[in-house]
Protein backbone atom coordinates (compact mmCIF):
# COMPACT_ATOMS: atom_id res chain seq x y z
CA UNK A 1 0.00 0.00 0.00
CA UNK A 2 2.85 2.40 0.87
CA UNK A 3 4.52 1.72 -2.49
CA UNK A 4 1.29 2.50 -4.36
CA UNK A 5 0.89 5.77 -2.48
CA UNK A 6 4.50 6.59 -3.37
CA UNK A 7 3.93 5.89 -7.07
CA UNK A 8 0.82 8.08 -7.14
CA UNK A 9 2.72 10.87 -5.43
CA UNK A 10 5.49 10.70 -8.02
CA UNK A 11 3.05 10.58 -10.92
CA UNK A 12 1.22 13.56 -9.52
CA UNK A 13 4.37 15.53 -8.78
CA UNK A 14 5.98 14.84 -12.16
CA UNK A 15 2.64 15.14 -14.00
CA UNK A 16 3.23 11.84 -15.77
CA UNK A 17 0.32 10.69 -17.92
CA UNK A 18 1.86 7.79 -19.83
CA UNK A 19 1.45 4.28 -18.29
CA UNK A 20 4.80 3.38 -19.91
CA UNK A 21 6.54 5.59 -17.35
CA UNK A 22 4.90 3.85 -14.41
CA UNK A 23 7.74 1.33 -13.97
CA UNK A 24 10.48 4.00 -13.92
CA UNK A 25 8.40 6.14 -11.56
CA UNK A 26 8.10 3.21 -9.17
CA UNK A 27 11.88 2.84 -9.14
CA UNK A 28 12.27 6.51 -8.33
CA UNK A 29 9.83 6.40 -5.43
CA UNK A 30 10.32 2.98 -3.87
CA UNK A 31 13.83 3.55 -2.53
CA UNK A 32 13.09 6.75 -0.60
CA UNK A 33 10.00 5.12 0.93
CA UNK A 34 12.07 2.15 2.10
CA UNK A 35 14.69 4.49 3.51
CA UNK A 36 12.02 6.47 5.33
CA UNK A 37 10.57 3.32 6.89
CA UNK A 38 14.04 2.24 8.09
CA UNK A 39 14.64 5.71 9.52
CA UNK A 40 11.34 5.54 11.39
CA UNK A 41 12.29 2.15 12.84
CA UNK A 42 15.74 3.43 13.79
CA UNK A 43 14.21 6.34 15.67
CA UNK A 44 12.00 3.95 17.61
CA UNK A 45 14.89 1.64 18.49
CA UNK A 46 17.41 4.33 19.45
CA UNK A 47 15.13 6.87 21.14
CA UNK A 48 16.57 7.97 24.48
CA UNK A 49 14.42 8.87 27.43
CA UNK A 50 17.36 9.68 29.73
CA UNK A 51 19.59 12.75 29.94
CA UNK A 52 22.70 12.48 27.73
CA UNK A 53 26.16 13.15 29.20
CA UNK A 54 29.50 13.31 27.36
CA UNK A 55 32.37 12.17 29.58
CA UNK A 56 35.94 11.03 29.01
CA UNK A 57 38.98 9.45 30.63
CA UNK A 58 42.12 11.59 30.72
CA UNK A 59 45.51 11.13 32.36
CA UNK A 60 49.13 10.20 31.76
CA UNK A 61 50.12 7.42 29.37
CA UNK A 62 49.90 3.87 30.82
CA UNK A 63 47.91 4.92 33.88
CA UNK A 64 44.90 2.76 32.94
CA UNK A 65 42.44 4.98 31.04
CA UNK A 66 41.56 2.36 28.41
CA UNK A 67 41.54 -0.44 31.02
CA UNK A 68 39.06 1.57 33.12
CA UNK A 69 36.88 2.25 30.06
CA UNK A 70 36.79 -1.47 29.23
CA UNK A 71 35.96 -2.30 32.87
CA UNK A 72 33.05 0.17 32.90
CA UNK A 73 31.55 -1.42 29.77
CA UNK A 74 32.00 -4.91 31.26
CA UNK A 75 30.23 -4.07 34.53
CA UNK A 76 27.38 -2.26 32.76
CA UNK A 77 27.06 -5.03 30.13
CA UNK A 78 26.29 -7.45 32.97
CA UNK A 79 23.50 -5.09 34.06
CA UNK A 80 22.24 -4.75 30.46
CA UNK A 81 23.27 -1.10 30.00
CA UNK A 82 26.14 -1.52 27.54
CA UNK A 83 27.89 -3.74 25.03
CA UNK A 84 31.15 -5.03 26.51
CA UNK A 85 34.22 -3.75 24.67
CA UNK A 86 37.55 -5.36 25.43
CA UNK A 87 40.73 -3.33 25.78
CA UNK A 88 41.82 -4.53 22.32
CA UNK A 89 38.51 -3.40 20.79
CA UNK A 90 38.91 0.12 22.17
CA UNK A 91 42.56 0.51 21.07
CA UNK A 92 41.88 -1.13 17.73
CA UNK A 93 44.03 0.82 15.27
CA UNK A 94 47.08 -1.14 14.01
CA UNK A 95 49.51 1.56 15.14
CA UNK A 96 47.93 1.56 18.61
CA UNK A 97 48.29 -2.22 18.88
CA UNK A 98 51.89 -2.06 17.64
CA UNK A 99 52.92 0.60 20.18
CA UNK A 100 50.59 -0.46 23.00
CA UNK A 101 49.29 3.09 23.55
CA UNK A 102 46.16 5.07 22.68
CA UNK A 103 46.80 7.44 19.77
CA UNK A 104 43.30 8.44 18.64
CA UNK A 105 40.36 9.18 20.92
CA UNK A 106 37.98 6.18 21.04
CA UNK A 107 34.27 6.26 21.80
CA UNK A 108 31.96 3.89 23.67
CA UNK A 109 28.37 4.33 24.84
CA UNK A 110 26.55 2.97 27.85
CA UNK A 111 23.47 3.56 29.97
CA UNK A 112 22.91 3.63 33.72
CA UNK A 113 19.64 3.80 35.64
CA UNK A 114 19.60 7.60 35.36
CA UNK A 115 21.65 8.65 32.32
CA UNK A 116 22.98 7.75 28.89
CA UNK A 117 26.74 8.28 28.49
CA UNK A 118 28.95 8.85 25.48
CA UNK A 119 32.43 8.02 26.79
CA UNK A 120 35.61 9.24 25.06
CA UNK A 121 38.83 7.38 25.89
CA UNK A 122 41.53 10.01 25.30
CA UNK A 123 45.22 9.45 24.52
CA UNK A 124 47.68 10.36 27.27
CA UNK A 125 51.02 10.20 25.46
CA UNK A 126 52.74 13.58 25.14
CA UNK A 127 52.98 13.22 21.35
CA UNK A 128 49.18 13.00 21.06
CA UNK A 129 48.01 15.80 23.36
CA UNK A 130 46.47 17.52 20.32
CA UNK A 131 44.29 14.43 19.74
CA UNK A 132 43.33 14.46 23.43
CA UNK A 133 42.28 18.13 23.31
CA UNK A 134 40.24 17.50 20.15
CA UNK A 135 38.56 14.52 21.81
CA UNK A 136 37.65 16.46 24.98
CA UNK A 137 36.26 19.58 23.27
CA UNK A 138 32.64 18.38 23.59
CA UNK A 139 32.86 16.75 27.03
CA UNK A 140 30.62 17.67 29.96
CA UNK A 141 33.06 16.13 32.45
CA UNK A 142 36.19 14.00 32.76
CA UNK A 143 37.51 11.12 34.85
CA UNK A 144 41.14 11.83 35.75
CA UNK A 145 42.92 8.46 35.91
CA UNK A 146 46.08 8.33 38.05
CA UNK A 147 47.78 4.94 38.47
CA UNK A 148 49.20 5.70 41.90
CA UNK A 149 49.93 8.75 43.95
CA UNK A 150 52.69 9.32 46.49
CA UNK A 151 51.23 11.28 49.36
CA UNK A 152 53.33 13.53 51.60
CA UNK A 153 55.07 11.39 54.21
CA UNK A 154 54.66 8.15 52.22
CA UNK A 155 57.75 6.05 51.55
CA UNK A 156 58.00 4.64 48.05
CA UNK A 157 60.67 3.28 45.74
CA UNK A 158 61.27 5.09 42.45
CA UNK A 159 63.57 4.28 39.57
CA UNK A 160 64.75 7.49 37.92
CA UNK A 161 66.50 7.85 34.58
CA UNK A 162 68.78 10.90 34.56
CA UNK A 163 68.70 13.31 31.64
CA UNK A 164 72.41 14.01 32.01
CA UNK A 165 75.27 12.26 33.81
CA UNK A 166 75.66 13.03 37.52
CA UNK A 167 77.98 11.82 40.27
CA UNK A 168 75.90 9.95 42.86
CA UNK A 169 76.75 7.72 45.79
CA UNK A 170 74.72 5.26 47.81
CA UNK A 171 73.18 6.94 50.85
CA UNK A 172 73.24 10.38 49.21
CA UNK A 173 70.14 12.51 49.75
CA UNK A 174 68.49 14.27 46.79
CA UNK A 175 65.64 16.68 46.13
CA UNK A 176 63.17 16.56 43.23
CA UNK A 177 62.13 19.98 42.02
CA UNK A 178 59.56 21.25 39.53
CA UNK A 179 60.64 24.79 38.73
CA UNK A 180 60.93 26.55 42.09
CA UNK A 181 58.78 23.99 43.90
CA UNK A 182 60.16 21.00 45.82
CA UNK A 183 58.02 17.97 44.96
CA UNK A 184 59.98 15.31 46.83
CA UNK A 185 63.13 14.29 48.65
CA UNK A 186 64.83 10.93 48.74
CA UNK A 187 67.80 8.75 49.47
CA UNK A 188 69.87 6.90 46.85
CA UNK A 189 69.64 3.19 47.75
CA UNK A 190 70.96 1.63 44.56
CA UNK A 191 72.78 2.80 41.45
CA UNK A 192 71.90 0.96 38.25
CA UNK A 193 74.16 0.56 35.24
CA UNK A 194 73.35 2.88 32.34
CA UNK A 195 72.19 1.44 29.05
CA UNK A 196 73.64 2.31 25.66
CA UNK A 197 70.42 4.15 24.85
CA UNK A 198 70.80 6.35 27.96
CA UNK A 199 74.39 7.16 27.04
CA UNK A 200 73.31 7.97 23.47
CA UNK A 201 70.55 10.31 24.75
CA UNK A 202 73.08 12.15 26.92
CA UNK A 203 75.28 12.81 23.87
Name the active-site residue from 62, 111, 116, 134: 62
Q: Known catalytic residue: 127?
A: no
Residue 146: how many other CB atoms lie within 10 Å? 9
CA distance 64 to 119: 15
Name the active-site residue from 65, 69, 102, 136: 65
Q: Known catalytic residue: 65?
A: yes
Torsion on CA atoms 32, 35, 40, 44, rounded to nearest 10:
180
- Nearest Cα neighbor of 109 from 129, 83, 91, 138 is 83
Q: Known catalytic residue: 66?
A: yes
Name the active-site residue from 63, 107, 116, 125: 125
- Nearest Cα neighbor of 83 from 53, 58, 107 is 107
Q: Known catalytic residue: 49?
A: no
Name the active-site residue from 66, 73, 120, 136: 66
Residue 157: how many other CB atoms lie within 10 Å? 7
Catalytic site positions? 62, 65-66, 125
Amino acid sequence: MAAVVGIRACLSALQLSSPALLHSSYKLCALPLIKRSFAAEAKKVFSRDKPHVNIGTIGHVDHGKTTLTAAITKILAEAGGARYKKYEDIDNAPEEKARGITINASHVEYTTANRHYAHTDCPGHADYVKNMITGTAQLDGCILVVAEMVMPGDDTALTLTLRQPMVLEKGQRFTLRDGNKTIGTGLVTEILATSEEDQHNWG
